[in-house]
Amino acid sequence: GENVEQHPSTLSVQEGDSAVIKCTYSDSASNYFPWYKQELGKGPQLIIDIRSNVGEKKDQRIAVTLNKTAKHFSLHITETQPEDSAVYFCAARLTGGGADGLTFGKGTHLIIQP
Amino acid sequence: EPEVTQTPSHQVTQMGQEVILRCVPISNHLYFYWYRQILGQKVEFLVSFYNNEISEKSEIFDDQFSVERPDGSNFTLKIRSTKLEDSAMYFCARGVGASNQPQHFGDGTRLSIL
């Protein structure tokens, strides 16, 4: 099955700086890579996703890059703000029917220092 | 605003008892998923459900687990004889179907087994 590795486990950055979180996956058949933000006491909230037919996607301060050859993808947050503090999870999903589950990374605790 | 509503938000149960967790989608979707998150760990896929049948299940989803959609609306996860290690957050998610489409999570039910 799929295995997703995520680094770092904790990331502390100064407010206004950029943050980068990296993930690798094992199964080349994966074709969908979402990123979720989880705040305390809440469920994972989808913030951005990328499909295997593109290499980069951007949404305001958030961007995701995908390297299918190397089987890794990254989340980039620019101009970080205090409200960006949360746990971020990457995930991967195999090609196939719509009922396939997501395989998650272990999460990155992002801390924005004022 | 989560796209699925989960009840209860917190469930405390004695070991060996049965527990039923509920999920109510806000819109009428066919694909549903249950995930589990043990405290401080990553989100893990349990089972997916499509057209009133289980489509995929992980090795975690053993014989003590079952899912159903009894009234065409609520989507339930039942744990027949709870164990201490079942203590976790349980998240319901809904999807639109294709493997490269997002899954949207509820805020979860915290299950505490005593």
User: pLDDT tens-digit profile of B53-93?
Assistant: 898 899 999 999 999 887 777 889 999 999 999 999 999 99
Q: Between B37 and B101, where is the model more confident?
A: B37
User: In Å, how far is A67's CA from the nearest CA of chain B?
Assistant: 17
Give the tens place of pLDDT for each residue, A71-109. Answer: 999 999 999 999 999 999 999 987 665 557 899 999 999
Instruction: Report chain A's mean pLDDT, rounded to a whole number.
Output: 93
What percent of chain A shows pLDDT beyond 90?
Answer: 80
Give the tens place of pLDDT for each residue, B19-52. Answer: 999 998 766 667 889 999 999 889 999 999 887 8
Residue for token pair 């589990």: B36
Q: Between B52 and A43, where is the model more confident?
A: A43
User: In Å, how far is B51's CA from the nearest CA of chain A?
Assistant: 10
Say if residue A53's pLDDT is above 60: yes
Residue B22, judged by CB atoms within 10 A of its CB (0-12, 13-18, 19+), counts as: middle
Q: Residue B2: its pLDDT value, please?
A: 61
Q: Residue A97: its pLDDT value, please?
A: 58
Q: Residue A2: its pLDDT value, please?
A: 85
Q: Residue B27: its pLDDT value, please?
A: 66
CA distance A28 to A37: 25
Q: Residue B74: its pLDDT value, please?
A: 85
* Residues constituting chain A: 114
User: In Å, how far is B56's CA from the nearest CA of chain A?
Assistant: 7
CB atoms within 10 A of CB B40: 8
**What tokens appear for B6 in the block?**
């989960």
Q: Residue A91: its pLDDT value, please?
A: 96
Say if residue A37's pLDDT is above 90: yes
Using alpha carbons, list the distances in angstroms from residue A90 to A8, A56, B54. Answer: 12, 15, 25
Work out how many CB contacts closer than 8 A connect A with B: 80
Chain A residues whose C-beta sits inside 8 Å of any chain B C-beta: 31-32, 34, 36, 41-46, 49, 51-52, 89, 91, 93-107
pLDDT category at B17 given cuts 50, 70, 90 is very high
